[in-house]
Each structure stands twice: as C-alpha cells, then as structure tokens.
Amino acid sequence: MKRKSFVYTAVKVMLLGTPEDQLKNTNEEDKEKTQPAIVTVTTTDDDPTHLPEAAPSVDGSSDSGDDREGTLSNGNKEPSPWQPKDEEESLPWQPKDEEEAALAWQTRDDEEETQAVAASPDGRFLKFNIEIGRGSFKSVYRGLDTETTVEVAWCELQTHRLSKLERQRFREEVEMLKGLQHPNIVRFFDSWKSTVQGHKCTVLVTELMTSGTLKTYLRRFRQMKLKLLQRWSLQILKGLQFLHSRSPPIIHRDLKCDNVFITGPSASVKIGDLGLATLKKASFAKSVIGTPEFMAPEMYEEKYDEGVDVYAFGMCILEMATSEYPYAECWNAALIYRKVTNVHGSGPVGPPLLPGEPRRPRGAG
C-alpha cells in the first residue's frame, strides 16, 4: 500500500511538479492572464504550422518595414501626420513622421538650390539661386567657377536705375577692376551685360568672402586684441598702397569697416565693395560720394586726391580700437560736417582707444 502510494506520488510529481512548482506555475498563469496579448498567431486547417509573414506589435505597426502607416484596433489605417501638398509635390516615399517629412522637403529644396539657374556667356561661371547679399542697386548670389571649382560671388547690378554719369563711372570702374590682383584686394574675375526679369543689368563675378566684414567682427566680439588690430591695419594699408600706386591712382572714396572683408582660411583682410571707387580724373574727383563719418574735410570741398582714403583708414582704426562708429555723438550728417570742417573744433568722441587707457573726455581731439 505504501509502495502504491509512492508510485502515485512520483507520477504526480513527474506530471505536475512539486507543490512548490505547482504554486509557482499557478502564480505565473495568473500573471499571464492579467497581461495583454502581445502576438496573436492564427493557423489554417491545411497547415497548422503556418505563421503570418509579419506579426503586428502592440502599437499596430509592422515589423516588415514596408508599411509605414499604423493600423487602428478597428482595422482601419491610421492617417499619416504628414500629407503632401498635392499629387505633383508628393515624395517618392512616405515619411513616418512630421520631422522626417520636413527633412525630406528641406533636402528637396537644397537640391533645387544646387541647380545652376544662369551661366556666363562663355559658360565658365554658374549662378545658383542662393542670395547672400542685397543692396540698393545690386543682388549677390553664390556662384561657381567651373574651371577651378571654386565658389565665387555673382553680383547683379541694376544699371537701369543709374544715371548717365553713374553708368559711365561704372563702365570705367569695371575696366579698372579687371586689372586688380592683390592679396589684400577682393579679386575681380569677369563682367558682362545681362537681363534679369526684364531689366537690363551688369553681372560682376568676384571672389567670394564668407567670413563677414570687420563690422560684423566688431559686433560679435566688441573688443579687438592689439596684435590683431596691428596686423589687419597693416594689411589694409598694403591694399590702399596698391590702389594708390596704379596709374592713374585708384581712389576708393568709401573705405570703412563695412567694406573690409575677412577671409576664412588665412584670417587676413581684403578691401572690397569698390562700387564707389573710380579713376582719379577731374570729371569724377569733383563729386561728393561716401559715408559722412569716414569722409575727409576736402571731400566736402569736392576737390581731393587719394589722401581721403588715408583719412578714412584712420577712422577705421578708431572704430576697430573702440568698437564705436566715429562721431557717434552726432545725430545727423550736418553736425558731422560742422565738426569735420571746423579746424579748431574737437574730433570724434569715443571710449579709450586701447584697454586700460582712461576714457577720452568730450572735446578731446
């Protein structure tokens, strides 16, 4: 009888486990009943071992990766958070979220911007629809020199807005620019006449300066170290010496920190924006053109020489040292003119020229 009871007990343990195992299995079964079903597998009568190609997960998405749209509990597809603007603008693939869609459209826009929209008459220079600057008479775009594969600045000057005298000055300036090559002068490559949106214009292709100007540098850092000031000042002087040593001398007439550009690779400076520069001829040297804060007294008298650029260079030094515009205390050009032309008057007022110096009092020359 005891042997029979032992056999029954052994068989029961083999089938159901020990009482501890039974209790553990019971707890696990209860736990599984409270958990949601993760995967539902259906079988067919013909093939009980057949499984679906991709089992849906809890959120209704597919592991196959082919279908990027979710599925709702009622079997309907969940609408995508991104919808194309129209059928013509739809992407070749369906983004899975708004962020991916925005990135896709940005990539598409970037590809369109890298397509050339114009070319020079000889096909050497290409224009891209990326505007990098704009002025009262000009628009500047990114371009490419196909011979050197170097980026250039494609400048469209609206000559139809210029007066006859300005057009004459500009034509001579273009001829003058073609012969300028100096490490501290923004290089000029080519020019030609063109038509943009029905308006006649002249296209200038120059060296592309992407590191900003002295003006933007001063806005960003406020103070310039003495060694850097000395180095850049020397480079500006070298550029001016080159301009003034031409025959006839070339007068910039609008030299200021806004027109001195910083090169990225070497961190050197170059004089640019020669839109107001011209040859030293009597017919042009009698016109008052420039920025009042940087204009020498003789410019108001409408008779001057290349010395006006040296005066403007001094104003650049003042702005580089103080991070303030010359004559900032004057609120209009008339007051600046009165101070500049008054020989016995005071010079521009500003903070200390160099760190550690006392502030210059108002009225100090």
Tens-digit pLDDT profile for residues 155-202: 998 777 677 887 787 787 788 778 789 999 999 999 888 888 888 888
Ranges of each domain in the chain: 113-208, 209-365
Distance CA 299, CA 193 (A): 32
Residue range 93-107: average pLDDT? Answer: 61
Which pLDDT score is estimated for 135? Answer: 74
Which CATH number is associated with domain 113-208? 3.30.200.20
Dump pLDDT digits (tens) for 246-280. 888 888 888 999 999 999 878 899 999 876 554 33
Reference 240, options 180, 288, 189, 292; nearest CA is 180
Q: Is the backbone of residue 17 left (phi > 0), alpha (psi -120 to 50) or beta?
A: left
Cβ atoms of 297 and 342 closer than 8 Å:
no
Strands (E), the chain: 116-119, 125-134, 138-145, 150-157, 188-196, 199-207, 250-251, 260-262, 269-271, 278-279
Cα angle: 20, vertex 24, 27; to 5 degrees: 140
DSSP state of 294: G
Distance CA 279, CA 190 (A): 19
Supply the angle between the helices 307-322 and 214-221 in degrees, to the nearest 10. Answer: 20
Choose which CATH entry (3.30.465.10, 3.90.79.10, 1.10.510.10, 3.90.650.10) describes domain 209-365. Answer: 1.10.510.10
Distance CA 122, CA 146 (A): 11
Percent helix / strand / coil, the chain, rounded to 5 = 35, 15, 50
CA 165 to chain centre: 35
Cβ atoms of 168 and 209 closer than 8 Å:
no
Residue range 323-338: average pLDDT? Answer: 86
- Residue 227: band (very low, low, confident or very high) from pLDDT cuts 50, 70, 90: very high
Q: Say if residue 206's pLDDT is above 70.
A: yes
Q: Which residues are catalytic?
A: 273
